[in-house]
Chains A and B, each alone.
Chain A
Amino acid sequence: MLAPLAASDYVLHVAVLSFIYLLPALGLNLVYGYAGLLSLATGAFFGIGAYASALLALRLGWPFWLALPAAGAVCALVAVPMAVPALRLRSYSFVMVTLGFLVISESVAKNWVGLTRGDMGLIDIPRPRLGGAALTSVPQLYYLMLAAAVLAALAFRTIVRSAAGRALAALRDDETLAAAYGIDTWRFKLAAFVLGALLAGLGGSLYAHYTAVLDPLVFDVFHTLTLLTIVFGGGAGTLHGVLLGTVVFLFVPEALRVTPQWRMVLYGLLLVVFVFRLPGGLGPALARLGRRV
């Protein structure tokens, strides 16, 4: 909380990235950890949210505080026509379609040069303004992003504790049984998917206005894979798991400036190891250790 007083600008920057990343991670957690849908589209919505927000700010002059919710809304709206046919499919087809959505989004970002300026990207995305002045320094933005992360976590917890959260967990555990008790599994899956897209889009908007520049690399599969590692490695289906995952798989490697290649190799090996040894993720495993101690 008081980190800006002590830590260097770089560490704060990494912390900010972690806060921003938490949003799409929670979104993926909702979709995969609670509804049981392995979706690779979270990264796509992250990028779509980022571009939507940036374009609204740059082309229409919208302030950050308007662009942010608008970006979320755009993602939620796009998610619906995407999910309606996709949810009918079997699990491996669904995964492929979500991957396809990611690839197509990247392609659109690269090629619709009239809208997105393609590979040249967008620059000078306006920073959030508070009380008449723009927040430009990392410490200033730190508090804003921290607040966003906290709000997202609280929202996530509320959803999860509600009857809807129970319904999602139920359908993840046994879809037929959930239906037998009256739970409309299709509608809940759709709801989870849309909410996941919304969260990812909000995260994307924060990302765009923080870094102030944006290019199609935001759609790179690197982000999606990192998010997957965070959610799966940290503990899908739990809040503390995702928080832990963000720290371990994003904050630490970023702070140590581990190169992307080594990180990916590590993530890759970790994914394999976790599948066989720790399918529940780090969070629950550490919790079990804690109980034993």
Chain B
Amino acid sequence: MLGALVAWTVLDRLAWPYPAAVAVAVLASAVLGFAVSRLLMERLLVMPFSMAVLATLGVQLALQNGAQLLWGASPKFFGGGWIAPVQVGGVGIVGQQLVIFLAAAVAFAGLAAVVRSTPLGRAMRAVAQNREACDVVGLDVERVVRVTFTLGVAFAGLAGALMAPILVNVGTTLGLPMVLRCFAIIVLGGVGSVPGAFAGGLILGIAESFVAGYLTLQLRDAVGFAILIAMLVVRPQGLFGVRVRA
């Protein structure tokens, strides 16, 4: 949400070109992610899980409604992006969608490489599997959390800025349906698995389109959650996930 809104602000108020707007959105998101991580996420490491849920819920509430107070409640028209139609293999799509697909492919490939091969990626996996052991071997858990969270928020901002031209209208209500979809994708693909997330995203996207096209448009939001619940009941570790100790 904030990614899209920041990009809009840059585009509309500052009249900068679209790529600049995207860059600013990503930067702003990274800064925000860093701040939230320092102030909040790292401190939550020592707390029971429910506290973390409530605190992050609080942040989400404050951000979303704060945004509403700043930007107003009505959606804004997003003017930038490559929205000229392009022909791909006989199917007409919008140029922006191609950009999104490419960006996603690069991002996923890059992320998978990082998680699998770099020291940072190894550190991330170690933290996910056994936090106490990390403390024992001297791994700076807080730094890993900070980098991971900042990256995550930056990605979110990027997604928002890239999706904005497709959505045409951007407003403060963008956040929640996206987050719900993210949950569904992660659970579907398997927590902790990057290829899983990629697969999950594809599956969810296709499922939603089918439901919207053949059943009814309104049920689209519920599809994500139906899948989520079904997965959790039938196969909690997702399609590609590894069974992590609870």
Contact = CB atoms under 8 A, between A and B. Distances in A.
Direct contact of A and B (CB under 8 A): yes
B49 A103 contact: no
Given A89-B232, A92-B49, A228-B54, A264 B61 contact: yes
Interface stretch (B103-111, B116-124, B130-138, B217-225): B217-225
Contacts of A86: 232-233
Interface residues on A, range: 35 or more
A162 B68 CA distance: 46
Interface stretch (A19-27, A138-146, A152-160, A269-277): A269-277
Given A261-B65, A262-B69, A264-B62, A271 B55 contact: yes
A110 B218 contact: yes
B180 interface: yes
Contacts of B58: 267-272, 275
Interface stretch (A3-11, A94-102, A246-254): A94-102
Contacts of B197: none
Contacts, number: 111
B40 A107 contact: no
B57 interface: yes
A276 B65 contact: no
Q: DSSP class of B's interface residues: helix, strand, loop or mixed?
A: helix
B228 A96 contact: yes
Interface string B41-52: 001100101110
A58 interface: no
Contact of B222 (A85, A104, A263, A269): A104
B112 interface: no
B127 interface: no
A232 interface: yes
Contacts of B43: 276
Contacts of A99: 180, 183, 225
A282 to B, nearest CB: 14
B218 to A, nearest CB: 5
13 contacts: A85-B233, A96-B232, A97-B228, A104-B229, A107-B218, A261-B69, A261-B73, A263-B65, A268-B59, A268-B65, A271-B57, A272-B58, A275-B55
